[in-house]
Amino acid sequence: MPKSPVQSHLDPRQPLVVDTTKLPRQPGATRALERVTPAPADLGLELIGVPEGSDLELDLQLTSVSEGVYISGRVRGSLTGECGRCLNEISESFDVAIAELFAYEDSTTEETTDEDEVGRMQGDLIDLEPAVRDAIVLTLPTNPLCRPDCPGLCPECGVHFDDLPADHSHEAADPRWAALRNLNETEE
Looking at this protein, which amino acid is placed at residue 140? L
CA distance 50 to 137: 9
CA distance 122 to 18: 10
User: Backbone dihedral region of 63: left (phi > 0), alpha (psi from -120 to 50 degrees) or beta?
Assistant: beta
- Convert the pLDDT of each residue in 145-171 to its tens digit: 999 999 888 888 878 888 888 888 777
Element (H, E) at 160: none
- Convert the pLDDT of each residue in 20-73 to its tens digit: 999 998 899 999 999 999 999 999 999 999 999 999 999 999 999 988 999 999
Give percent of the chain with pLDDT exceeding 70.
83
CA distances from 143 to 97, 109, 136 (A): 21, 37, 15
- Convert the pLDDT of each residue in 107-153 to its tens digit: 666 555 556 667 788 889 999 999 999 999 999 999 999 999 998 88
